[in-house]
Amino acid sequence: MARAGLVGPIVAALVAFVATGVAARAQEFNDYPTSARAEYVFGCMKANGDSRQSIMQCSCSIDVVASLIPYERYVTAETVLSMSQVRSDLGSPFRTSEQASNALNDLRRAQAEAEVRCF
């Protein structure tokens, strides 16, 4: 009888422990701000047709990218991509630096994986 009385608190503690772990993993996965996710989806939709299907595919795509590279690395790659298009001395380091190239390659690999999974 005493064991039966302990089952409730043990189950409650186990549920709380699992819920905490799930919430922590969700937070790790969702480190991209909503505005960054929305910007990605809007750009992706523009490139893939403004349809209901493209919303689903592009939303899936940013989820895959977010699961593969941390947000800070994503920001670096997006900055490199943007600044490398500047046709002056300001854009040169973004076109020639190894660190910039690595960040951009990380983003491209993540996007290629997203293409395979989502499109």
pLDDT tens digit string along 25-73?
A: 445 556 999 999 999 999 999 999 999 999 999 999 999 999 999 999 9
Q: Which domain holds residue 88?
A: 33-118
Q: Are residues 57 and 108 in the same domain?
A: yes
pLDDT of residue 27: 52
Residue 93: C-alpha distances to residues 25, 40, 78, 101 (Å): 36, 25, 14, 10
pLDDT score at 66: 97
pLDDT tens-digit map of 87-106: 888 777 777 889 999 999 99
pTM of the shown model: 0.72
Task: Note the pLDDT of residue 84.
Answer: 84
Q: Is-contact 113 67, C-beta < 8 A? A: no
Torsion of CA 66, 70, 72, 74, to 10 degrees: -40
Residues 112, 76 within the same domain: yes
Task: Judge if 109 and 98 occupy the same domain.
Answer: yes
Same domain, 47 and 96: yes
Q: What is the pLDDT of residue 70?
A: 97
Same domain, 78 and 108: yes
Rounded to an integer, what is the distance from CA 80 to the centroid of its chain?
Answer: 17
Same domain, 81 and 45: yes
**Same domain? 91 vs 104:** yes
> 48 and 14: one domain?
no
